[in-house]
Structure 1
Amino acid sequence: MGLKETVDKFFNNHSETSEKHSDPQLQTHYFKTTKDKAFQIVESYFHNKSGCDIIATSHEHGEISLNLHGKKKAFIIITIVMVKPFRTAIDFSVTTESVLPFDLGYSHRLIPTLYQTLSEKMTCIERAN
């Protein structure tokens, strides 16, 4: 990760995962499950999580959008796509709401925490390379 990415991590209010992200923690994670099962697990987890309000779900598009009320408010979009049988990709897009135009790395730190939680509920196969 270069200097620009390091600075952006702290002086930005948005982070998202992708296939070829420069930060390995923000690379797409794959789980050994079907899209339907992953969608059900993710939706159930956030439905039962305190301080979390699911705004919308689109099973057809594999997307869940929600507001998270914790140390900071965050808007999260979760995308769930089955790329092969029993190989499902889950990506996050996190935008924090604050008075300042940056979140000092909160959105960047939240994503690995969410992946860790999902890895306890589903078998993580790998991160994207």
Structure 2
Amino acid sequence: MSVMRSIQSFFTTNTETSDEHWDERLKSRYYKSNAKKTLQEVVEVLNAFEGISITSVSEDRGEISASIHKPRKGFLVATVVSVRPFETAVDFNVLTETSLPSDFGNSKRVVYNLYERIDQKLSKSQTGKM
């Protein structure tokens, strides 16, 4: 079944992380930090990421939306949710603009890179549901 999922994920223009995602690298990440600090770190990571510009930040809702300019145009929504006093979840939804039925893994690579950069700044608590 894993081969079929890999093929299906190749023919998509959208990547969304979740607690129960079949791809370990696309499971929600939990960090040992409060929501405000985590949101600030995600904003810093997005600002430092070449080709991404933040369009809005909603601290009340814990959402950040951004436009992706390269390597392919797209749209990104980052969600930061406080789970416990010092545990915060970070999820992404990346949509690539293309007329083709596939973005050739571009949206997945964006999420992989973002999580990698956030992992360097914050201490991980867990990944996905335990």
TM-score normalized by the length of structure 2: 0.91
Q: Secondary structure at the match of 2:79?
A: strand
The Cα of 1:83 is off from its aligned counterpart by 0.2
Equivalent-residue separation in structure 1 for 2:32 and 2:77 (angstroms)? 21
- Which has the larger displacement, 65-74 or 24-33? 65-74
Amino acid in structure 1 at the alignment position of 2:54: I
Give 1:51's aligned residue: 51
What residue ranges of structure 1 are gaps of 5+ in the alignment? none
SS in 1 for 2:30: strand
Match of 1:128 in 2: 128
CA offsets per residue over residues 32-61 of structure 1, 9 Å max, x none? 110000111111232343322211111111
For the Cα contact (< 8 Å) 1:9–1:104, is it kept in 2?
no
Q: Which residue of 2 aligns with 1:21?
A: 21
Task: Please say which of residues 27-36 and 69-78 is displaced more in the overlay.
Answer: 69-78
Deviation of 1:101 after TM superposition, in Å, equals 2.4
Q: How many residues align?
A: 129
Matched with 1:103 is: 103
Match of 2:35 in 1: 35
Q: Kindly provide the amino acid, as one letter, of the partner of residue 17 in structure 1.
A: T
Contact 1:26 1:112 in 2 (8 A): yes
Q: TM-score, normalised by structure 1?
A: 0.92
Bigger mean CA offset, 2-11 vs 112-121? 2-11
Ranges in structure 2 where 5+ consecutive residues have no aligned partner: none
Give the 3-state SS of the residue equivalent to 1:113 in structure 2.
Answer: helix
Partner of 1:2: 2
Classify 1:22/1:48 alpha carbon distance in 2 versus 1 (closer, same or farther; 3 Å).
closer
The residue matched to 1:61 in structure 2 has which SS? coil
- % identical aligned pairs: 35
Q: Which residue of 1 aligns with 2:86?
A: 86
